[in-house]
Structure 1
Amino acid sequence: MHKKLTSGLLAAISGLGICLPAQAMEQEDGFQVGNTTISMQGFVKLDAIATRTGSGEFAADELRDLYVPSTTPVGGDDSSESLNMHAKESRFSFRTKTDVGTGTPITGLLEMDFGPGREVLNGTATTNRSSVNLRHAFFQYGNWGFGQTWSTALFGPAMMETLNFFALSEGTPSQRTPQVRYENASWAIGLESPTTTAQLTGTDTSVASLKDDATDSLLPDVVARYSIMDPSYQLAFVGILRQLQVDGSVNNAFSAGPATVDDTELGYGLGAAGNIGLGDETNLKFMVLGGSGVGRYTGLAFTPDVEISDDGSSMNAVDHVGFNIGLAHRLNSQWRTNVGFGMEHADLSGEKLSDSSWSGTANLLYSPVRDLTLGAEIKHGERTLVNGESGSQSRLQFSAKYSFGL
């Protein structure tokens, strides 16, 4: 059977990975070209993933590559099992540092990958990949940064180390987006490309919670972050202010038909994230973000920003909260383990829309030498619709990763 992908699903399955935001990465030594130092970094990674769904099949084969909360099948008659091996998470990046004679260099980052969904174009809700390969294209001069990179809402120290393509997924700010960012000491403020994700009340999301992406707003998302960096703990507090605008036709997959909409809503969110040392070998990590009309920001756009009536007569910002929490423990210089839990919950009225999702993750990682990591990870997730129907997916993953230039 031919499996269709819409822009919302393409955004969700696009290549995500675990790395710090561009502004947090240090420039490494490299080779000189004129007044510019260029260095190359990256990794090669093989993943072998055994997946079992409890209630039906995935909407697309690419969804076997990584865990996407909104695409856990619900309400199917049969379970489905598969083994998937791929090296799509492998990536490389170029970093530059240019001496312009002012005492303040210009630094840049250009990063590519071969991530899931590379055969099709991606939407703007999460990663904004141009063509099929672009992850980051970002440069900084002094306090100012320009280009595409992780949203200012993401706080790198709070991310768990997992084999899954995007950490714990639920509760984690997940988009790479074009932006202008200003940073000064503990403060960072970003003006980020606006996208409003929309779902019709009558849409049936049993197969996958597909959404339409609307790029009608004339005002950028404003995202502010205040960070506290201490040797024993790191904390961040985030605020988001958005204009949610849909002007045109919305026609979700598995909905009764299109609705014509011309409406604007206010979106806002507050969040916190942290990495707290619990002794010398253990860290507590957490993220939480909640508000109205900020569903795009966490859980790989699990929740729509707005819910629209089937006749287009009303549009309402969706209240939602996402969070995750976990423990990272170093057993010795070569072995480490991570255990975590994440959840998303939305306040929606459509009976067949996604109400909540949760997942638990545990892994064991081994690095016999500095640049090599071998690991095993188990993950179980469940998605529930507003009417109470639910489905699950379980994943057993083995990975081998060789990092270079780090």
Structure 2
Amino acid sequence: MNRHVVAKARPRVLAVALLAALAAPGMAFGQTAKEQELEARIAQLEAQVQALLSQQQQQQTEIAETRTQVTEVRTAQARAPAAAAADGKGIQPGTIMTAANPGTTFSYGGMIKFDAMVTDTSDGRIADGSAGRLFYVPSTIPVGDDGADGGDAYTDQHAQFSRFWFSADHATDGGDKFKAYIEADMFGGGSNALLGNETATNTYGVSLRHAYVSWNRWLAGQTWSNFMDVGALPDAVDFVGVTDGTVFVRQAQLRYTNGPWSVSVENPQTTVQSYAPFSPAAGARFNTGDNVLPDVTARWITRGDWGHFTVAGLVRQFKAGDETETGAAVSASGKFNLGASDDIRYAVNAGQGIGRYLAFGMGSDVMQDASGDIHALDGYGGFVAWRHVFSPQVRTNLMYAAAHYDNDKSLIGFGVTERSHSLHANVIYSPFPKLDVGAELIFGQRFLEDEREGDLTRLHTHVRYTF
């Protein structure tokens, strides 16, 4: 039964298929015009889509390449300081000084230093606004009559020893080396009478510390005297610390250095203590500005893993009006390492007319008699300091300094300084590299020729960040 039905249906299915095959060409021919327009638009859209896809792929490729380049640059920048430290060269790829020689490199640095101190003096107060209120200056310790009362202790705070410096360095293809250096701080008083005080704004003027140019072995300009050993200065909280026994002078000079030897001719100046025979008060102290010949210095230094040792000599001419005198001085100083955690720093200074070079000029260069003749004043002083490092964060220093002058009392009286000494002990904490927080206890005494004396006791603290 089923087979019969299927057999009868087959001719009908075949007929329908044949009819569809015969009608298809006509139907296709009737729709060609519309479909061709539609297909053209579809093809155009497909081309635009393909172009957009290609552009997007190109942009993604460029972005990936840019990211790779940025990563490479950052990696090179991170490695540059280590490479510069290894070869001794700076990381600056080119000059940023438009007026400098091609290839000149520029550097900048300095420090911010906040000082706070409480001072107690036995014979009156140090004058407000004077240098002795900012750091330890033995010549400013008040000395009065027996039984004089210095009153209550007094407090000072300032940031005047903050400083900054600029350096421009250049090396030629022939190996010549040039350097220009300038440094300043704010230890120079106010810019005007209204602002340059502690009443309101504590505005202070910029003071020149160093300004020099060097060319290979030559140096010309203002910097530390060749008679001074900066490397022997102790690690103090106070600006200097061992001021009594320290040679401390910055001045204009022309210097030549060859290996361990250096010689210089430096700016001359004569300080005079005037005639005041057997007077209980000192005579006038003044600078003459009459010098003709410069101060001449020579230094020899040797260095090693153990530290350094140096000897320096000084020859000077003194002149007041038409009167002249000569003097000479010598200094021996250095630093001796006692293992990795301890060192000893020291200096011994002595000579005729060493006055303005020692202890911030506590003694004069010459004494003047009644006829106007001048006589070189003998003086000597020194210091010793022990430094101990407990850890990279904590260190301590113990220091002692003294100075003495052989005044002729028959010429300048009893009111001049005969000697001074001081003892310092400090602790300095560095919670981070370049950041110091320190406290220093200072006890100092100044004695006059008539044996009157004045005491100073001070707690000096600071916060210092070096950059």
The bucket for the TM-score relative to the shorter chain is 0.7 to 0.9
How do 1:5-404 residues align onto structure 2 when only pairs under 5 Å count? 32=95, 33=97, 34-62=102-130, 63-75=132-144, 77-80=148-151, 81-115=153-187, 117=189, 132-202=206-276, 211-247=285-321, 262-309=322-369, 311-348=370-407, 349=409, 350-404=413-467
Q: In structure 2, what is the Cα distance between the partners aligned to 1:204 and 1:176?
A: 35
Shift in Å, 1:208: 9.4
Letter in structure 2 aligned against 1:246 = A
Q: In structure 1, what is the Cα distance between the partners aligned to 2:281 and 2:441?
A: 23
Q: In structure 1, what is the Cα distance between the partners aligned to 2:228 and 2:454?
A: 29
Q: Which runs of 5+ in 2 are unaligned?
A: 1-87, 193-204
CA contact (8 A) 1:75 1:206 kept: no
CA contact (8 A) 1:70 1:209 kept: no
Q: In structure 2, what is the Cα distance between the partners aligned to 1:169 and 1:297?
A: 11
CA contact (8 A) 1:209 1:302 kept: no
Q: In structure 2, what is the Cα distance between the partners aligned to 1:58 and 1:297?
A: 23
Q: In structure 2, what is the Cα distance between the partners aligned to 1:117 and 1:241?
A: 33
Q: In structure 2, what is the Cα distance between the partners aligned to 1:55 and 1:272?
A: 35
Shift in Å, 1:156: 2.2
Cα RMSD over matched residues? 2.2
Q: Which runs of 5+ in 1 are unaligned?
A: 1-25, 121-130, 248-261
Q: In structure 2, what is the Cα distance between the partners aligned to 1:294 and 1:155?
A: 15
CA contact (8 A) 2:251 2:266 kept: yes
**Partner secondary structure for residue 56 of structure 1:** coil
Q: In structure 1, what is the Cα distance between the partners aligned to 2:166 and 2:267?
A: 24
The structure-2 alpha-carbon separation of the partners of 1:209 and 1:230, relative to structure 1 and needing over 3 Å to count, comes to farther
The structure-2 alpha-carbon separation of the partners of 1:65 and 1:156, relative to structure 1 and needing over 3 Å to count, comes to same
Shift in Å, 1:99: 3.0
Shift in Å, 1:209: 9.6
CA contact (8 A) 2:298 2:314 kept: yes
The structure-2 alpha-carbon separation of the partners of 1:326 and 1:282, relative to structure 1 and needing over 3 Å to count, comes to same
Tell me the equivalent position of 1:18: none
The structure-2 alpha-carbon separation of the partners of 1:104 and 1:342, relative to structure 1 and needing over 3 Å to count, comes to same
Letter in structure 1 aligned against 2:150 = S
Tell me the equivalent position of 1:124: none
Shift in Å, 1:56: 1.3
Tell me the equivalent position of 1:252: none
Q: Answer 1 or 2: which has greater helix percent.
A: 2
Tell me the equivalent position of 1:257: none
Shift in Å, 1:168: 1.0
The structure-2 alpha-carbon separation of the partners of 1:321 and 1:28, relative to structure 1 and needing over 3 Å to count, comes to farther
Letter in structure 1 aligned against 2:108 = M
* TM-score, structure 1 as length reference: 0.83
The structure-2 alpha-carbon separation of the partners of 1:28 and 1:308, relative to structure 1 and needing over 3 Å to count, comes to farther
Q: In structure 2, what is the Cα distance between the partners aligned to 1:318 and 1:116?
A: 29
Give the number of equivalent residue pairs.
354
* TM-score, structure 2 as length reference: 0.72
CA contact (8 A) 1:203 1:353 kept: no
CA contact (8 A) 2:355 2:361 kept: yes
- What is the aligned-residue identity percentage? 32
1:230-252 deviation digits (Å, cap 9, x = unpaired): 111200001100001111xxxxx
Q: In structure 2, what is the Cα distance between the partners aligned to 1:206 and 1:333?
A: 52
Tell me the equivalent position of 2:3: none
Shift in Å, 1:117: 4.0
**Partner secondary structure for residue 368 of structure 1:** strand
Q: In structure 1, what is the Cα distance between the partners aligned to 2:332 and 2:386?
A: 17
Tell me the equivalent position of 1:22: none
CA contact (8 A) 1:203 1:352 kept: no
